[in-house]
Amino acid sequence: MYGKDLISIADLSAENVQGIFDLALKLKANPEDYCDSLTGLTMAMIFEKPSLRTRVSFEAGMTQLGGHAIYLGPSDISLGKRESVPDIARTLDRMVDIIMARTFSHQSILTLAEYAEAPVINALSDLLHPCQALADYLTIMEKKEQLRGLKLAFVGDGNNVAHSLMNCGAKTGVSVTVVCPKGYEPNAGIVKAAQEAGKALGAKMAVTNDIDEGVKGADVIYTDVWASMGQEKEAEERKKIFAPYQVNAALMAKAKEDAIFLHCLPAHRGEEVTDEVIESEQSVVFDEAENRLHAQKAAILRLMFAEGDLD
């Protein structure tokens, strides 16, 4: 990973992904061992969308590693409007050591990576959310003590989170089934690529509209909001369409008895998930949120240092 970008988990090897998890666990257990790793280094954080977990985890992570992060909100940078994305990338490249961006358009991420020599991290685009998936699988690994052979059922919209969950499942041996209403399936190209990549570790990727079929035998139930940022006008219509796919006690009972519940947050309680589920002992959503910090710190270090230099 050293010197490259983190745009999609599909671009990483299975060894890269496991390396991030292994380092994240070391960082989590002994953060003081890495507190000077990024001394003198700066991250530019570009935000087109508001955030709690993404901003705090990256900014706190850089601080904990001895570096510095600069927040650049929509009023500071209007990607492609006030200034072109290539010009922004080339300007930042002269001033900072790593760039993180949370955008609407996935193309903006790709363009930043094309024009900046510094590593670029996709902190969310409308197509992918790799940082979230890394934290998710780190959490699953902690709770289940393994990854390969597990089944994850993502219930809801086939969105950017679903895409990255499939990509990460393919690299870790976790089978992923996206359970969604008709017309809200994930990107067919991403599904096909994940199916092909998953063969190496026996991970099967599937999409179904059938809730019973989709969640049967699941070790992990995962959901997300029904209307993502930028889809607010569709929210009321989506509530009607997605209502049968609410993660409630009855749906959880269709999965394995020891299944855990994940949600990338923020949650719209009473819509995609009930209070009963998100507050249950099966819910690990706040451990999952914390792991954004540890997984991202590990990813940053893997991008900034050759493995031997870091260890």
Cα gap 202→51, rounded to integer Å: 35
Structure tokens at 172: 């870790």
Q: Which residues touch 269 (CB under 8 Å, ≥6 apart)?
A: 275, 278
Please report where in the chains the tokens 């589920």 appear, as a residue: 277
Q: By the 8 A CB rule, do 21 and 168 touch? A: no
User: Would you please indicate which residues are annotated as catalytic (active-site) residues?
Assistant: 102, 129, 132, 224, 264, 292
Phi, psi of 117 (to 5 degrees): -80, -25
